Structure 1
């Protein structure tokens, strides 16, 4: 009994006029019933372009493996282009399947074509040229369509940047897709910005987003399509997780300014301006301050770890320089003992015995901080934006160079007026950008109206830890001892500080630190 495999395919090329999968299956089934063959399987490839090699197709490919081809004797298709629209793929497929494997290929609209004969193979090759040319025309039309839309405000498709959702609008008699801001995602982005400006790490922001159950851009796109969330490597319904990398990449992405991108790069118009595909989420000032904070976080070597140590990033091993670990234990009498120890021990055997009671370190460093800074006014950083058009200027110069090369190649011979107008506008923009001064953005300090002693009292442990790091404090552990930097102030230094703050005058007769 003849064992038959149905090969059905519908193309992903929007311009291709092809029969439906249902129609293909009905025709193949009717023929199989008439001839009384056994149908061993149906290789149904949905939305697969005609230029995809049959051996790599998701449904058909497994049937063409060494194991798969033992299960059938004949492959049936309704028309030859259901195998492939690429003439070379068609030729290679027939050579492999018919001549080398000794299988039979049946095409319903030409059932008498014998691929074992030179004439049959020649006819098949000639018949494959027409679909190949049609496929080339489809690709050209699709490419031209994409090129025309590339520099417009329309969204070309795919997963939108985080913060935006696709919407359909009826414009100039046609329905097109555009991007609009999503209020829920805007709140998430503003939360992320505030966290980074406040000194949190990318890891901490990602952890907070995961704990809040905020979906990623991909998961949100799946939900809009009515599909379940899905993390790669997990079952459906398990959401994707935010990571350091995704947070950092998102907060650096110029798509948040509404800029349109192609192959990862921002598109610029003939005037050298970014092509806008949506309203920006952040203002220029907000964006510049965010980028400065992101860059500062990228350059820091201290990785933030939540929920581990009250002084993580402050206490280090004095022997090997590793960050200290916070250890705790409860004795039989119910008393809890906490210690800071070398985080690399026992890997670093020389650090055995480097341990200090946590309470002693925490109390001492708090005392030293408040003695030094308690009466100092608290300041907050305010971003003063700069101006730097270097990148845009470079892009404009590249466009001028490309335009000149195209002119030399004769691509503008029949559009000289348009060429001159475009060149004039680009050169004017280049001169305008080159004349603008470059000033670096900077942070200014502004007093908040409270002292560090007042601030310290309302901070939680995490806030106090971050404040110590900002103030440059560092503790080095020894064997039941520790040293701290900056070193405690001498009385003359403290007196000078109090005089500067107005709490003492030069005429005060205090000669030593009170309490000594």
Structure 2
């Protein structure tokens, strides 16, 4: 009795024109019934491309393994390309079948098995194998071209949308396509995050707030839309992902929030050198610029509020070795709780003997000493001024010029030379515009707030004072016999003159100067 293995495959490529699984199965079983053979099994591979090695296919592969070879004698397929579309894989399978004394029947090529056993026949099979291989190349080329065409359109090509957006199917010009639209709930979350960063909160604090509020990440929201449970990697299903300092920082820097389309992590640009837009921006240009300045400022500064309550964390430094002081609380002695500022380097490093000063004393000294010497000083803030650097966009425009020329030389614009000229002119114009833009590094700049420290101290909380001292660049050095505040105080006139020299905003300076003159802090002398 002839023992036959039926083999069926359908590709996941929608552009491949082939028999359905049902059609293949019907043809094979009809032939098996006509010849009276015994069907020992059916290897059905769904959504498997023709370039996958038959030995690596999920369903067929096990039947070709050594332990299963004794179960069948003949392998049947409806057409040769159901076996493989790759000419090398196809020939290797043919030689394998000869070596293991297996017969192969191809329904639409009755002489296939006989050709396997002669040199002339194998030459013909080689030629036959080239046909499906060339068709596979054409399928891949069509698929690639289709993806390329869609890549520079507003259509969403799939995957997890950026946080703030959800996919939406639209019926346009007789076809259904996927686009992105804003999700009001996620937009509300993003605006909360922006407000927190502008208010001086750390990325860690924002992440903690999101986790406490139970806000889901983009991946978890995508799972919920598909009807699947949330899932944190390494945890059981149903446990949501957690926001982290890194995810908050990355999200708030992502140009996808401006509706810009990305490919392999980079923003795509159209033929005019402009970002390809895939959705409506969540933030306006002004909102985005102020957010990026706040994010960059948070990235640049290394002063962070950490665990526990430390009223002057980041302000107090060790006067012995210059290390940032750490705050130690909940120290009990005889039933009394004490707080201390201690050298942050000790005992990990030998450069300091471990200064330890009562926290209440330091905070009282700052209150009196600082206001006595610096009370009339104008309050300034160090703000981060983002730089301008169009290097990435310029490199992308240059790359697109080269690609456009290559396409022109290959004949892609033979029927439309005017389109080529217009695209090339637009790209050259954009290239020249970008090349003319100066590269300006981001930098810190002091900005007057219009207050004096005396006024700030009267109405602000201790946390507000702490933040402002850090923003203004002040530090308090304490030791066994040391209490020093730096930098040394300037007169109001000296401060204004220095800020002018450093390029501070002229209009803002004039407003603050007039306000200080009216309060009597600045005279005409």
How high is the TM-score relative to the length of structure 1? 0.74
Distance in 2 between residues matched to 1:306 and 1:366, nearest whole Å: 24
Question: How many angstroms does 1:470 deviate by?
Answer: 0.9
Distance 1:396 1:141, change over 3 A: closer
Any residues of structure 2 matched to 1:462-473 within 5 Å, and which?
A: 462-473=463-474
Contact 1:372 1:494 in 2 (8 A): no
Say yes or no: does 1:354 pair with 2:349.
no
Distance in 2 between residues matched to 1:81 and 1:103, nearest whole Å: 21
Q: Which residue does the alignment assign to 1:180?
A: 181
Q: Which residue does the alignment assign to 1:363?
A: 364
Contact 1:329 1:336 in 2 (8 A): yes
Contact 2:10 2:46 in 1 (8 A): yes
Say yes or no: does 1:16 pair with 2:16.
yes
Contact 2:12 2:47 in 1 (8 A): yes
Secondary structure of the residue aligned to 1:180 is strand
Say yes or no: does 1:197 pair with 2:203.
no
Q: Which residue does the alignment assign to 1:272?
A: 273
Distance 1:121 1:352, change over 3 A: farther
Question: How many angstroms does 1:56 deviate by?
Answer: 5.7
Distance in 2 between residues matched to 1:383 and 1:343, nearest whole Å: 27
Contact 2:293 2:385 in 1 (8 A): no
Distance in 2 between residues matched to 1:162 and 1:431, nearest whole Å: 34
Contact 2:294 2:384 in 1 (8 A): no
Q: Once the two structures are superposed, what CA deviation does each residue of 1:395-415 show, in whole Å capped at 9, x if it has no partner?
A: 555544554455456554443
Secondary structure of the residue aligned to 2:15 is coil
Distance in 2 between residues matched to 1:90 and 1:254, nearest whole Å: 46
Any residues of structure 2 matched to 1:153-232 within 5 Å, and which?
A: 153-232=154-233
Question: How many angstroms does 1:167 deviate by?
Answer: 0.7
Q: Which residue does the alignment assign to 2:507?
A: none
Contact 1:355 1:477 in 2 (8 A): no
Question: How many angstroms does 1:171 deviate by?
Answer: 0.9
Any residues of structure 2 matched to 1:293-442 within 5 Å, and which?
A: 293-303=294-304, 305=306, 307=308, 309-318=310-319, 321-331=322-332, 333-371=334-372, 374=375, 395-396=396-397, 399-400=400-401, 402-404=403-405, 406-407=407-408, 411-427=412-428
Distance in 2 between residues matched to 1:74 and 1:117, nearest whole Å: 22
Question: How many angstroms does 1:232 deviate by?
Answer: 2.7
Aligned residue pairs, count:
493
Distance in 1 between residues matched to 2:324 and 2:103, nearest whole Å: 69
Distance 1:59 1:324, change over 3 A: farther
Question: How many angstroms does 1:267 deviate by?
Answer: 2.3
Distance 1:474 1:418, change over 3 A: same
Distance in 2 between residues matched to 1:7 and 1:304, nearest whole Å: 65
Contact 1:231 1:239 in 2 (8 A): yes
Distance in 2 between residues matched to 1:428 and 1:231, nearest whole Å: 48
Distance 1:229 1:60, change over 3 A: farther
Say yes or no: does 1:289 pair with 2:326.
no
Distance 1:447 1:60, change over 3 A: farther
Question: How many angstroms does 1:53 deviate by?
Answer: 4.0
How high is the TM-score relative to the length of structure 2? 0.73
Question: How many angstroms does 1:483 deviate by?
Answer: 3.7
Contact 2:324 2:344 in 1 (8 A): yes
CA RMSD of aligned residues (A): 4.9
Distance 1:416 1:71, change over 3 A: closer
Distance 1:90 1:177, change over 3 A: same
Distance in 2 between residues matched to 1:43 and 1:366, nearest whole Å: 82
User: After the TM superposition, which of the residue ranges 130-139 and 46-55 deviates more from structure 2?
Assistant: 46-55
Q: Which residue does the alignment assign to 1:513?
A: none
Q: Which residue does the alignment assign to 2:88?
A: 88
